[in-house]
Amino acid sequence: MARVAIVTGGTRGIGEAISLALKETGVVVAASYAGNNARAEEFSDRTGIATFKWDVGDFDACQAGCATVAEQLGPVDIVVNNAGITRDGTILKMTYQAWKEVIDTNLGGCFNMAKATFAGMRERKWGRIVNIGSINGQAGQYGQVNYAAAKSGIHGFTKALAQEGARAGVTVNAIAPGYIDTDMVAAVPADVLEKIVAKIPVGRLGQAHEIARGVVFLCSEDGGFVTGSTLSINGGQHMY
């Protein structure tokens, strides 16, 4: 029987690449999204991947959304916590709302999705959770105290939850992408982006499918001995 995966923020950018890559391996994919109905409909029509709308920052919405996916597609075996937002600004200008929205979505979403699916994975003795962190959660970034804190929190969350799932066949890992050629990065001013690329040893932005390949491995049977790890895919920009 095919595995069932939920990819949050799974209809665009890195999330879309992950959804497609998992589908190509025979996984039944549900792509969640928060707001753009037209984009989700176009994505579903083009790929044949089912889409489901809910806000990952909303605990009750995650409970209901995951239950709907399980009812329609089957028990959820794989969760990829990819959904994320930015509300950039220095702390002198950042509002509490901008802080809270990013923490609730980027970090809270990981908790909410795990609460909705982790128990079932443990009971069935198999599960994969992959949390998408960020190079900026590892190294920090000016004007992103909210985003960097949330993404850094993901790495600690991953290590702790991995210990709770290990003996039950549930692995929990993270991927920390560097700068990837997506809509989010395209919004960066050209002069700033040029300086960023200059700091990447391989000399280019990453591609979404390069992140997706890492996710596919961590979600596979072959990834069963990898847990509590963070895979950095950043072109050598941050090494430690």
Residue 149: per-residue pLDDT: 97
Catalytic residue among 33, 96, 147, 179: 147
Tell me which fold the domain 4-233 belongs to. Rossmann fold (3.40.50)
Residue 84: per-residue pLDDT: 94
Residue 61: per-residue pLDDT: 98
Q: Which residues of 75-99 are buried (b: 16+ CB within 10 A; e: fewer)?
A: bbbbbbbbbbbbbeeeeeebeeebb
Residue 22: per-residue pLDDT: 98
Measured CA to CA, the distance from residue 137 to residue 134 in angstroms comes to 5
Put simply, whether the predicted model's pTM sits higher than 0.85 gets the answer yes
Instruction: Break the chain into its structural domains and give their ranges.
Output: 4-233
What is the mean pLDDT of each successive set of 10 residues along the chain, which is 240 residues long?
Answer: 96 97 98 95 97 98 98 98 94 97 98 98 98 91 94 97 98 96 82 91 96 98 97 92
Residue 184: per-residue pLDDT: 75
User: Quick one: which of 112, 105, 62 has its CA closest to 84?
Assistant: 105
Q: Is 147 a catalytic residue?
A: yes
Residue 192: per-residue pLDDT: 86
